[in-house]
Structure 1
């Protein structure tokens, strides 16, 4: 009888070991799957990012051209060049090229990937993110407001935070364009609430017309977005809730949708 119990116990122990190994394998597979989806989402954003570079650079290139046109005209007409004018144009050219270089740096940093958690100011990262996507927003005459009531220092993967912002803002932008909203706007607000730092992204695109609203966070769900991968909002929720110990939620207001990123103070 005792031997039978011992055999049962040993068999159970062996089963537990096998079960633990299976769980480890499944956890590893899920992590790899999440990593792959994260990269797919980032690559899906690449095409949109390249379009934004062209928007970002079009105006500076036109400004560079306008700086040289008067100088070229004077040279052709043998009109003496004013030294002060030339120096002013050179200074303007330096400012423009510095802006274009900073834009490229923002894109490179975003796609480089996060190696480790670092400290970063929330407002600075929002500004850097806006610099990446501002071309597409301006090109479609969308007003963008940023309201800051708190500028905390976060510790985490700053590019992941940027990716969440880009996913939500681009989603809002696409809806505003598709629905041809008059006087379109996107508003970003940062404030403190209880023990949390809150970032909200609000638009006047008419809201999300599905029930329940949380369905938009499901993978491969492409609500009214043409050529969308259906991964953006799913990955955003995954990043906020799994990597930042926070919460990402959505609600409808009278004029449009509002996304709310809640990050606890213990992440700050």
Structure 2
């Protein structure tokens, strides 16, 4: 509460000045709006000259009942309060006092704030009265305050515990995901092991009849007066049977091809793959176009390279619709990482394309988009064969728009590195 002083002249009156206006100080209107009980006393006897509505409500009396009476009659038993008012009146200095719950003999417990009312000229100020403000402090209020503090501390601890719980939950989720991935990897390993055992068994069973078929073809090719077209078909069949025999020997573990990496004509490889899949190409109605330098050579095992390209072309034929288009392209390039020369072979189609989620899984074993028709091993085996021949395989695809389709890119070393690759494998 500010101190009201009388200015030197009437034109210099302050807003907080105690001035009689219709029998009341002008700032009483402000005190009427105060939420805390307040009163103004005059003289050494502390005669009440003003009370605000909040004090009327606290005391249970009207203004008429309190104004003109001693403050001691309004709040009897308030010895500390009366002493406080007397000190402020005599000293002209504001003071405060708060009763303690343990030292008081009654409830509620009060806190008092008192200010002197000063009038007169500057340098001659003297108190003419006192303004007092009362604050009620009950045991319930103290307990509520303590409870609020406890709730605040509890909320902070709850927040800390929630953070710890979230951290632990995140770690648990990561551990569960890692464990699930480990279990899936073990399951895939077991499936691959089972598939390997089954493949070995099948290879063992077909090995002997396969040899018989190869011998029969040899005899048929040796027949006199055989038409050139029939001889060409028999040579194609003999080549594919040799590839089947090679796969069977690999499956059984009877054959390790340390020196099989040789120089192969890319054009010849693509021609052989297209000829092999001619029946499938005709049935699909697709157009297969070859774009390749006739002199381009690639390093690798011929049978394995042919198997990779055949798998990729067969997949493209499955993806395109009637009148679809497939382009087989081979070109020379240089590895930007080490400057070595290499050959890039691409198989591009304008089929239905693949979503990103599918692309992320196509090289996983047993993953297929062909339902019961596919085994899910073609691309996985192709990737293994490409890497075995010091190459790499990549894919990009778009399932939407005019540029819809899929492109597989396979990169192999060029002929210039035959001796280096062969010697490295021999070591």
1: CA distance, partners of 2:366 / 2:405 = 22
Q: Rate the CA distance shift 1:125–1:187 in 2: closer, same or farther, 3 A.
A: same
Q: Deviations over 1:149-192 (max 9, x none)?
A: 3643333211111111111111111222xxxx242121100001
2: CA distance, partners of 1:267 / 1:150 = 19
- Normalising to structure 1: TM-score of the pair? 0.60
SS of match in other structure, 1:146: strand
Q: What is the match of residue 244 of structure 1?
A: 389
Higher RCO (Cα < 8 Å, 6 or more apart): 1
| 1:246–1:264 Cα contact (<8 Å) kept | yes
2: CA distance, partners of 1:252 / 1:220 = 20
Pick the aligned partner of 1:200 from 328, 346, 355: 346
Q: Deviations over 1:38-86 (max 9, x none)?
A: 958x98xx9xxxxxxxxxxxxxxxxxxxxxxxxxxxxxxxxxxxxxxxx
Q: Does residue 324 of structure 2 align to residue 175 of structure 1?
A: no
- Normalising to structure 2: TM-score of the pair? 0.39
Q: What is the match of residue 186 of structure 1?
A: 326
| 1:150–1:190 Cα contact (<8 Å) kept | no
2: CA distance, partners of 1:240 / 1:39 = 20
Q: Rate the CA distance shift 1:182–1:231 in 2: closer, same or farther, 3 A.
A: same
SS of match in other structure, 2:357: coil
Q: What is the match of residue 236 of structure 2?
A: 103
Q: What is the match of residue 130 of structure 2?
A: none
Q: Rate the CA distance shift 1:174–1:150 in 2: closer, same or farther, 3 A.
A: same
Deviation at 1:225, TM superposition (A): 5.1
Q: What is the match of residue 273 of structure 2?
A: 129
| 2:298–2:343 Cα contact (<8 Å) kept | no
What aligned pairs does 1:135-146 form with structure 2 within 5 A after superposition?
135-146=279-290
Deviation at 1:34, TM superposition (A): 11
2: CA distance, partners of 1:110 / 1:267 = 25
| 1:147–1:187 Cα contact (<8 Å) kept | yes
| 2:284–2:322 Cα contact (<8 Å) kept | no
* 4+ residue segments displaced more than 6 Å: none
Structure 1 or 2: larger strand share? 2
| 1:250–1:260 Cα contact (<8 Å) kept | yes
Q: Rate the CA distance shift 1:259–1:34 in 2: closer, same or farther, 3 A.
A: farther
Q: What is the match of residue 126 of structure 2?
A: none
Structure 1 unaligned regions, length at least 5: 1-28, 47-90
| 2:391–2:413 Cα contact (<8 Å) kept | yes
Q: Rate the CA distance shift 1:128–1:109 in 2: closer, same or farther, 3 A.
A: farther
Q: Does residue 381 of structure 2 align to residue 235 of structure 1?
A: yes
1: CA distance, partners of 2:380 / 2:193 = 13
| 2:286–2:322 Cα contact (<8 Å) kept | no
Structure 1 or 2: larger helix share? 1
SS of match in other structure, 1:100: helix
2: CA distance, partners of 1:150 / 1:101 = 25
| 1:246–1:261 Cα contact (<8 Å) kept | yes
Deviation at 1:237, TM superposition (A): 0.8
- RMSD of equivalent CA atoms: 3.3
